[in-house]
Amino acid sequence: MDGDSQRSMWDKITHLFGKAEDNLEQAIMEARDEGDVEAEESNMLLSILELGEKQVQEIMTPRTDITCLASETTIQEAARCILDNGHSRIPVYKDTKDNIIGIIYAKDLLTYLVGDNHNFDDHVNKIMRQPFFIPETKISAELLQEFRSRKNHIAIVVDEYGGTSGLITIEDLLEVIVGDIEDEFDAPKEEDIQKITDEQYLLHGRAMLDDLNDIDIPVSSDEVDTIGGYLSLQAGHVPLVNEEFTVGEWKFTVIEADTKQIHKISAQKIAEQTLEDE
């Protein structure tokens, strides 16, 4: 085995970045073509560069999908929530999710429960930790460094008005680089965009418009980022089940929704003859 084959991944990164001048992405692609790095390694390097460009709002779990506990929740109820959801850290709010006041850690709860003076009826605010707040616009690579320096693994993302926008963990950031990290507690993840045929897709309401454009479903907006938000904007309200919308060559039908948001949408390309008839 030659010297190049024996170099560690980090040796390769140092070697590669040392010869890059203005365009690291171009240098990585050239190194892959020349055999200096494997395809899998080059993909990881490109993902690291991508992390330096992404804002946390592009990666975070949105507010509507966050599992939270009210400050009046008892220790026993919190333990049940952790068992049911498999999360090791859960935000605590007072009154509304816009007012996150702490984070419950599973290991703190276990430590409390095995202590001599524990009380199942105590509230979670007795053992919660201070939350770490960050703005939506924070660059993901910077946050990863902060997580390391603070020895923290979770942050609450807030919007420009101080309201809760979402939640992000160190696992979310690492998944940008290495792909999905699953453990025994993770439920099967439903894709935001599921291809049925070349002309039909099943979409989650949170599917990003940019991702739809990537599969030739041209929907764009300066006001919203998701297809659910787009259809709600077009309707002027949260659409009801079976409401239909035509955008260019595509018909969108709401197939699952509640009073707050759209959950699932059918996207069907309209036949050329139908378009002519219309």
Q: Tell me, what DSSP letter sits at residue 99?
A: E
CATH of 58-178, one of 3.20.20.150, 3.20.20.60, 3.10.580.10, 3.40.50.970: 3.10.580.10
* pLDDT number for residue 196: 92
Closest CA to 205 of 256, 268, 259: 256
The separation between CA 197 and the C-alpha centre of its own chain, rounded to angstroms, equals: 26
Pairing of strands 200-204, 193-197: antiparallel
Does pTM top 0.75 for this prediction?
no
Tokens at residue 195, please? 């291809």
CATH topology agreement for domains 58-178 and 193-277 = no
Would the CA dihedral through 224, 226, 232, 235 be positive or negative? positive
CA distance 138 to 134: 7
Comparing CA positions, the residue from 272, 275, 274, 227 lying closest to residue 254 is 227
pLDDT tens-place values along the chain, 278 residues long: 444 444 454 455 445 444 444 465 565 566 566 665 566 665 666 667 677 778 898 889 888 889 999 999 999 899 889 888 888 899 999 999 899 999 999 999 988 888 777 787 888 988 999 999 999 999 888 888 888 888 889 999 998 888 999 999 988 888 877 665 555 444 445 688 999 998 999 999 988 898 899 889 989 888 888 899 899 999 988 899 999 999 989 999 999 988 878 999 999 998 764 545 55
266 vs 250: CA distance, rounded Å: 10
DSSP annotation string for 191-254:
PSEEEEETTEEEEETT-BHHHHHHTT-----SS-SBHHHHHHHHHTS-PPTT-EEEETTEEEEE
Distances, alpha carbon 206 to alpha carbons 127, 173, 197, 232, in Å: 34, 19, 20, 12
**pLDDT tens, residue by residue, 49-87:** 677 778 898 889 888 889 999 999 999 899 889 888 888
The label of the residue with tokens 């696992």 reads 171
Q: Is 41 helix (H, G, I), strand (E, B) or coil?
A: helix
The domain limits of the chain are 58-178, 193-277
Report pLDDT for 272.
Answer: 63
- The pLDDT score that the predictor gives to residue 21 is 41
Amino acid at site 66: I
Per-residue model confidence (pLDDT) at position 34: 61
Considering the segment(s) 193-277 as one domain, its CATH architecture is: 2-Layer Sandwich (3.30)
What pLDDT does residue 227 have? 93
pLDDT of residue 102: 95
CA 110 to chain centroid, in Å, comes to 28
DSSP state of 167: E
CA distance 25 to 178: 17
